[in-house]
Structure formats: C-alpha cells, structure tokens
Structure 1
C-alpha cells in the first residue's frame, strides 16, 4: 500500500512540476516581444533599407510598432533583433550598462577593434569616458575649438567667389576634420592632414560593408587605411612620450591628456596602443556626424526663409556688438545665441544623426513587461521617438520655435540626439558649439540660394547632392 501512495505522490509531483514549467515557459514566451522575422536569410532587411531611403526613415519601425507594439522583434542586416521605439524602454536600455553592452555589425566591429571605446564596457570605459568628458568641457578647449572653427571657415570662405556653387557637405567635412585633428593630435593644416583626411574617408566607407576582407573589397581597403592611420598616429605618440617627462604646463590636445594619465597613474591599464586605436575612432565625428549636422541646418534654413531671417538678425546683432566693442569672440558668445540653439536642436531632432543604437544583453532583462532574453541583439530606435507625433506636434516639420515654447525639454527622454546614460557622447557640448560657430560666421558673411537636394539616411545621414548652394559674399 505504501508503494502505491509513493507512486501516486511521485506522479502528482511530476504533473505539478510539468504544469508549472509549462506555465512559466508560456509566461516567458508571452513577455518576449511579438513580431515577424520575414523571409529566410534576408528577414526584413529590404523593407528596412527601403525605409531609410524614403522621406520617412522610421516608417519601417512605425508600421511594425502599430502591429506589434512599441517593442517588437524582427530580422534585419543578417541577425534577429528586438527593436524598441519606446522612449522609456530606450532610456532603461541605454542607462543599464550592467546588462546591456555595445554591439555592432561585424564589418564595423572588425574595423573598430576590441579595445575601442565604442565597444569596451565596465571600469575602463568609465575611466576613459570621464577623462574625455572633462577635457572637452574645459573652457580652454571650448575657446580653442571656437577659434579654430572661426579661422578655418574664414580661410575657406576667402576662396569662394561671387556666384560660385559651394558643396556645403564637403566644405563642412574638410573644415571639421582639420579642427578635430588639431584638438586630437595638435596638427595644423597641411599635406599630412590632407593625406589623413583621404585615408580616413576610405576607412569610413568600410563601416557599412560586406564583412569580407579580400583584395578589392571595401573592407580590405578600409583595413589598409586604418593601418596606415594607426602607424601615423603611433609615430606622434612615440615622439610625445619621449618628451613627456620634461613636459609641463597645460595639455594642448587629447594625446597630451591621455599620455599624462598614463604617466600619472602608471597602472598598466591605459596603454599607448590603446590610445592610438581610440584616437582613430575619435576622428569619426569630424568626417560624419558634425559636418552632417552643419549641412542639415543649412538645408532646413534654406527651406525656411522665416527661420533664416530670424537667425540672421540674431547673429548680425552679435557681430555688430563685437565690432563696436572691439572684442574678440569667446565661446560663450556663440552659446548665448538663443534662436541659433533652437535651430541646432531642431536639426538634431529631424536629422537623427544616430538613428538607432545597437546593444546586446548579458542576461535576461525585464523592462516594462518586455523580456529581453540573454544574448539578444537589441536596437533602440532614437529616431522613432524624435519623429513621434505624441512627443512633437507635426513632427516632420522644421519648427525651431517649438523649443521656445518649451514643447519638449532639452534633455528629456524624448530628445536624446547624443545618446544617454554612461555612453552619452562626451563631446556633445563641443558639437553644439561648433555648429553655432559655423552658422554664425556663414550667415553673417554669405548670402546664398540653395539648389534642390534630398536627405538620404542609408548607410548614414547625408545629402544626395552634398547640399549645393550658390553664394554671394556680404560686403
């Protein structure tokens, strides 16, 4: 009799365990975001790319969010991915550095290297991010950047002729790269910087390419260009290290600052090789994001005569005051231009220079009822938040006055053009300052008529015709 009871007890225990596990698995499945994986192998990649070429770069996200909710699963660019278009969920992901780590397409990951500040996480990332943040926020660096941008732009404008068609995207790239190289390496304009610029453009073209490193491929040429740049930067670092014990005074560039950290701590964590690799990555804003911001601002102002008129009046007032008082420009002068800041914010919101960020989960994470299983690839779509009509009235309209009305707070969950959390871009202050300097000296020295051009968002935001304008110098 005892064995019968024991058998029944075991059978009932098994049934209870089976029902519990089945219930738990069902609950787990229900928490994983719904969605479609599309066609075998290619998934929904073609639909995703097509949307980035359209006038609405987040239409792919919007359609699926309407079907499955603001967080959904898909299959794009060769991988399964969970996509979030929800501002609150995005913030939680971007600020949770313990559970979500950077994750990039294979081609970009190969070019960045394992020690890239864009890929590392933990204490090393915090240390370098903090060092860069303090350096870029210093008044001395802001003064240097504003002065360098002013001088470099004026040198370029001296070469422009009445009625000449200028490609703003190209001009902005050359100017920004020159200034950034001065801040990073301490090098002035010349053949070395020109060669570096050409090499870096080849390197950048490999960021979104087929990850095959064979002769003739974009990846092959990009890897060669990176090696060439690395050798050049490495020579500069070696020369600086020889002089380091005898160097005193203020640090003049990023290499000085990082080498000084090595010398003062001597903990072996931060190495010259690490600095060399990351200096290359710090050149990226000079070739892509910053000049694109300047170009987008010129594009939107050209399409909005009222906004251009108000911006011109504000900037002319500052210029006349500086001439009358006989004073040099200071970085704070540019940042005091209120309407100019509205224009920059609106250009950032509409432009979505960082349309989305890639992350990977280190463990199961539950956010607002959504389960992100361990090992999942996650895409936080910032553009969907910036172009959501629940967050902005008429979100596709260029309306810099919305910032005056406090329609949205400058750094709320609904406006994160430079990222969020521990990976907030350490140079975001400088990007705004540089855009302010560029716009101020452009509008107060040139009138222009823009030719027709269109914004494309793949593989990165750019103007299809590089933003041609016919200029007329203001006498």
Structure 2
C-alpha cells in the first residue's frame, strides 16, 4: 500500500533512518549496546550450562531479542512470560512456508504471530501515550515524539510497522549470522584457535580479566571481524532482496526499465570465483589481505581487489 514503509523514498526514508540511528547508531553502540550485548551473552551462556543441549539458532535468537527489545520498547524478556518472543518465533518459523492461510498450517501460524505481535505493540503504544511524560528512553518514545510533532510519520500504523520490522530484523539476521559462524568454526579448528587466542590476549591485558569489554578492545578484534565477514559471505543470511526501479537504470550496457521488479541474489557475487579465490572455502584470512589490498589500491586511486 501507499503507507508501506518498505516502499518509502527520499526525505521520508532519510527521516526514518535518522530516527533509528538516534538509538542504534555508532554512539549508542559504543556507550550502551556493546555492554548490553556482553551482559546478555554472559547470562545466556550461564543458563545454557544447565541444559543437556540447546537449539543454537533458537537460543541465539532469543538472546539477541532480549537486547533489541529492551532498547526499542523497554521490554524485559527475563521478567516477562516470553509472550512477545513466542509470537515473533511463530512468525519467523512460517515466514517462507507455502502461503496457505488455513488453521494449522505454518503460514497461518506465521500470520497469527504477526497479528498478535501487532496487538501487543499497539497496546504498548496506547499505554505509553497515557503515561506521564518522561525523557525519551527507547525507540517507542522517539516514535511518539515524532507522531505528536506531526513530522513525517503520517500515522500510528507506519510507526508500528517500523517497530515490528526493527524488532524482527534485529534478532533474525544476527542470530543467523552467529549460528553460521559457529558452524564454520566448528569445522575449522585452526580458525577457532586463532579466534580464541585473540580474545585470550585481550583478557590477559586487563587489570581485571572479568571486567566489561571496552570500545578499544572491541575495535582491536581484527581476526574476529574477518571471521564475521567470511561467515556472512558464505552463509548469505539474506538469500534474496527485492527492489523496484523508480527510474530507468543503466548498468553494464543493460537498461532496467522504470517500474521493473528486481530480485537481487547476493550469493551470485559472494560465491563467484572471479571475485573470491576458492569461493566455497571458509577462509577468514582472505579478509586480512583483501582489506590491506583495498587500502593500498585506494591510495593509488583504485578500489578493486581480488580476495
């Protein structure tokens, strides 16, 4: 529809992006989110110790959701009955199911999950509007401020759709990336050992080995970043992306007519042997040389490198 946030363009899109960056941008990552993630990870790892086994994707999804939901809507997963997470989980499980809207099917449960999440978010929004005014503490407050000032958010439906999208995207893609990285590391003892050594060296440099992570430590994790890049390249956690051409696009001698619907396939680049040497091999070290190559080529006025 005309109010679909996926189709937003121009100033409206820039405005929504600025709202998101106020809460999830680099400054908050440094001051707040980094520590939130560390605490959530430690709590999850401790809780997993008492279990004979865990479903990794589900467990990491729940862990990340506890962080993002706290920042977006001040939702405390640990002290709630987990109702919101259960509805999101139902939505996720049926997201790529065959679209038969009949009770009992995965797609029906998916749609019911979304409907129930929207009911919960709507109730939260209504309660927040009636509550006594305080300083902005989460993304819901930012949305309410924007709605009251009648800026570019046209109605509450768009605000709630954006909230739903951020809550979903925040945990689903991140947990998929973590799961893929752990699978690749399990099959590559050499990479796992170098990753362990990088983190152990950081702990050894601390006065208190159990102190919270610092921004400088986070930025020093070079091999960790290589592992993340390589895991995302191989797993392609967003297998396809859909776009619509708002004007004629000319590229490599081809023209994509205005109005065309486009499906982008990242794996066609990520697994292309002309772009990456031995593309199906998990090789985090390729990013060390690639990034060094980019830096050198950039200084010489070029930007391409072969990894």
TM over 0.5: yes
Q: Does 1:257 align with 2:145?
A: no
CA distance in 1, matches of 2:63, 2:32: 14
The answer for the alignment partner of 1:133 in structure 2 is: 21
Shift of 1:228: 1.4
Structure 1 stretches of 5 or more lacking a match?
Answer: 1-112, 416-475
Shift of 1:232: 1.0
CA contact (8 A) 2:198 2:223 kept: yes
Shift of 1:310: 0.9
Q: TM-score, normalised by structure 2?
A: 0.85
- Secondary structure of 1:404's counterpart equals helix
Q: TM-score, normalised by structure 1?
A: 0.57
CA distance in 2, matches of 1:206, 1:324: 45
- Secondary structure of 1:118's counterpart equals helix
Shift of 1:191: 6.0
The answer for the alignment partner of 2:7 in structure 1 is: 119
Name the Cα RMSD after superposition.
2.9
Shift of 1:326: 7.6
Shift of 1:193: 6.0
Write out aligned runs for 1:46-445 (5 A). Answer: 115-161=3-49, 164-190=52-78, 192=80, 194-243=82-131, 246-248=133-135, 251-263=136-148, 265-267=149-151, 269-324=153-208, 327-406=211-290, 409=294
CA contact (8 A) 2:181 2:231 kept: yes
Report runs of 4+ in structure 1 exceeding 6 Å deviation.
412-415
Structure 2 stretches of 5 or more lacking a match?
Answer: 296-302
CA distance in 1, matches of 2:29, 2:275: 35
Please identify which structure carries the higher strand content.
1
CA distance in 2, matches of 1:257, 1:194: 24
Shift of 1:373: 3.1
Tell which has more relative contact order, 1 or 2 (C-alpha 8 A, sep 6+).
Answer: 1
CA distance in 2, matches of 1:158, 1:253: 27
CA distance in 2, matches of 1:310, 1:191: 37
Q: Deviations over 1:39-98 (max 9, x none)?
A: xxxxxxxxxxxxxxxxxxxxxxxxxxxxxxxxxxxxxxxxxxxxxxxxxxxxxxxxxxxx
- CA spacing shift, 1:406–1:315, aligned 2, 3 Å: same
| Count of aligned pairs between the two proteins | 299
- Secondary structure of 1:187's counterpart equals coil
- CA spacing shift, 1:393–1:203, aligned 2, 3 Å: same
CA distance in 2, matches of 1:240, 1:370: 51
- CA spacing shift, 1:414–1:259, aligned 2, 3 Å: farther
CA contact (8 A) 1:201 1:287 kept: no
CA contact (8 A) 1:115 1:277 kept: no
Please identify which structure carries the higher helix content.
2
- CA spacing shift, 1:282–1:414, aligned 2, 3 Å: farther
